[in-house]
Amino acid sequence: MKKLLAMAITILLVLSLTHRAHAKGWEYQKSGTNANLNDVFFINQEVGWAVGDNGTILFTKDGGEKWVDLSASAEMYLPQLVPYRPFCSFKAVQFVSLREGWVAGKVELPVMEPETTSPFPMEFGIILHTEDGGGSWKIQYPWDKSLEQDIFPAPALTGINDIFFLTQTTGWAVGDGFAVLETNNGGKTWKELPIEFSVIPEAKLSLMSTKWISPLVGWVVGYEYDMNAQKERIGFIARTRDGGVSWDKDVYPNNLPQLNDIEIKVPWHSITDCVNCFRLSAWSVGYNGTILHLTEYGWKYQHFPWPLCMPIPNFYATSFVDDKHGWIVGFREKYLNPTEEPNPLMMTIFHTSDGGERWQVSPFGDKGKLNDIALAGATDAWAVGDKGVIIHYQNSPPEICRAWAEPQLVEAGQKVEFFVSVKDFDGPDDIEKVTVDMKLIGGDVVELEREFEDIGDRRCVLYKATAEIPALSPYGLHLLPVEVVDKDGAKAKGEIEVFVVTCSVKIEDTWAKPNPVRQGSRVLLAAKVRLLCPKGAVGEDSLPEGKEIEIDKVRVDITELLGVDCGPDMDCRIIADMEDPDGDGVYTYLVKEVTGSPGTYELPVWATDTLGHIDKSVIKVGIIPAGCLFDSEPDGDVDGVDLAVFAERYQSMINPLALIEFAAEYGHDDCFER
């Protein structure tokens, strides 16, 4: 009886763990094929494609709930290429929109006498292109049989293993052979770029994967081997900085096994020359449990816990959501010392949430072999493998129930408590990090700690942290960004309102007199500056208790007024201290002689207080040529306004007739030289 009870408890425990694993785990999707699937690509959470052996092309528009076989749409175009029924295996797929994409792979002709297949090679790489989502395809590489030619040049690649498009027009393809294919027109033409760096006599080269971060900078990974010892494969990573004209091997550990995939996470538009490539987030995976990560000192191994009694896994593909959250898929043999032949293969999935510092093995481990993985954000992932296997992983993103600060009205330099209430349908343990960003008020990013169930909403879990409002925080209402990240990289964003009470310096107004000013004349620069403080009980400004604050300095950059040729960050800038002689908050500085060139300038002015706050503004000043006589209202010409000013100032010295004669003689001139 005890044995039966123990067995029942064990079964219930296993079922419980299985249910919990599948609540947020991998589930099978019906592919409708038994062909080996080699690659998968999703352009969003709903629309994706998978390709494989026997010319297989699958399509879904509902996240994989239903997969449609588009193989026939590609097969009807293959006879255009050769006059025989070929064997086609697709290894790669990528789309740049819902309608436009490419598949690539290998074509093998039936075994027959060489003269019957001439002028066609027995095997060659192939690239197909679609502009209707896969409904129809056109051959782009190696050649189109519809072209009227008698001799077809042998393609450089006997098979294509990967294809990568940086933009809708710029892409590359790699495979078996000493070349990288490049296109700059969406695949209408492909240029074969030689790649040679092998030191092995009679070497063969297989490029398994390629990634690019700009039209100039890209990587390839794969393996090379001697034709006389094909099982001894030596892995490599090579990089180009000139668009594939030349290639150099990266720095990596010796005696690497075959490498199958490379992943790079970087905003590619910010990288041009890759001077600091080690700052990229990059990984490469391959056989014998190889995981490599790019560091300042080259590629280094990343390790993972693994039982000694279990065969080491072989990794086929990796994909990352960001620089922290990523996946690896592949397979392992079931037994270390097999008693049955062949040794069964088991699917293997690894996951990390810290950039690979720690890798965790997924509990999913059914029989089979996984060949590729595709992500759609941080909520969905698909992996494909042999015998038509497609599995789907779905993650529920976190939600922010509410977020607030106590107190909401707080003085600079005082402490505040942040509260963020979070909901995650995958359970509270799925939350990786909750943060409040205080950089807007001069602080740091604060990480909150899990407290307890939110009493206000029992579906949510409360996170809390205590932080100090920086002493130099500006006065007023601030919206501090809140971010919640789960262990798969899915994020929720919000804001916390904080009103900071503090005194700080404020430049309210600036001006110059006269403005514009003539070359060789003097000009008075002025700025109205005050201390901005919270309102007191009677509506007047008041200082926070225990704080002493004064206006420290008000300074202006007069470099351009003096015509000094000096860049904005150079030490030759001429900075003047402004003064408030009357104590009315108007700070002034007199430039005795303006020597700058004619034009309009914005002179930087800034004020600081004794607590360290700073406020910035500009004084706009115009400079006009020095030779304008009778320009009473200085604007660089003489017009009716100037005559009116002249008459008002000197009416006791001239009669109206003299003014009329003056206007007739000089009123039409733009400027009079002194």
Question: Could you tell me the two tokens for 184?
Answer: 């700059």
Q: Is this model's pTM higher than 0.75 or not?
A: no
Tell me the C-alpha distance between 237 and 221, whole Å.
5
For residue 504, what pLDDT is reported? Answer: 81
Average pLDDT score over residue span 310-319: 96
- Distances from the Cα of 670 to the Cα of 469, 485, 502, 628, angstroms: 59, 68, 53, 8
Which residue type is seen at 297?
Answer: Y
For residue 479, what pLDDT is reported? Answer: 97
For residue 649, what pLDDT is reported? Answer: 62
For residue 324, what pLDDT is reported? Answer: 93
Would the pLDDT of 641 be above 80?
no
Residue 374 binned pLDDT confidence (cut-offs 50, 70, 90): very high
For residue 111, what pLDDT is reported? Answer: 61
Torsion angle defined by CA atoms of residues 643, 646, 650 and 652, in that order, rounded to the nearest 10 degrees: 30
Of 616 and 74, the one with more pLDDT: 616
For residue 277, what pLDDT is reported? Answer: 54
**Does residue 142 have a cis bond before it (omega within 30 degrees)?**
yes
Residues 230-253 have pLDDT tens digits of 678 899 999 999 999 999 999 999
For residues 172 and 217, the answer to whether their CB atoms sit within 8 Å is no
Would the pLDDT of 117 be above 60?
no
For residues 136 and 130, the answer to whether their CB atoms sit within 8 Å is yes
For residue 639, what pLDDT is reported? Answer: 66
Average pLDDT score over residue span 166-172: 96
Residue 198 binned pLDDT confidence (cut-offs 50, 70, 90): low
Would the pLDDT of 113 be above 60?
no
DSSP 263-317: EEES-GGG-SS-TTGGGSEEEEEETTTEEEEEETTEEEE------TTSPPPEEEE
Tell me the C-alpha distance between 467 and 463, whole Å.
13
Residue 325 binned pLDDT confidence (cut-offs 50, 70, 90): very high
Residues 421-453 have pLDDT tens digits of 999 888 888 999 999 999 999 999 999 999 887
Least confident of 107-116, 238-247, 371-380, 665-674: 665-674
Of 78 and 184, the one with more pLDDT: 184
Tell me the C-alpha distance between 229 and 165, whole Å.
34
Residues 520-568 have pLDDT tens digits of 889 999 999 998 776 544 444 545 555 567 899 999 999 999 988 887 7
Residue 16 binned pLDDT confidence (cut-offs 50, 70, 90): very low
Would the pLDDT of 598 be above 60?
yes
Least confident of 35-44, 252-261, 563-572, 654-663: 654-663
For residue 14, what pLDDT is reported? Answer: 38
Question: Could you tell me the two tokens for 197?
Answer: 């760096």
Strands 191-194 and 298-301: unpaired
Residue 19 binned pLDDT confidence (cut-offs 50, 70, 90): very low
For each of the domains in the chain, give its residue range(s) and CATH number, in order of start: 36-194 (2.120.10.30), 312-319+326-394 (no CATH), 399-501 (2.60.40.650), 504-624 (2.60.40.10), 627-674 (no CATH)
Least confident of 185-194, 206-215, 622-631: 622-631
Would the pLDDT of 149 be above 60?
no
DSSP 470: P
For residues 619 and 525, the answer to whether their CB atoms sit within 8 Å is yes
Tell me the C-alpha distance between 495 and 512, whole Å.
42
Residue 58 binned pLDDT confidence (cut-offs 50, 70, 90): very high
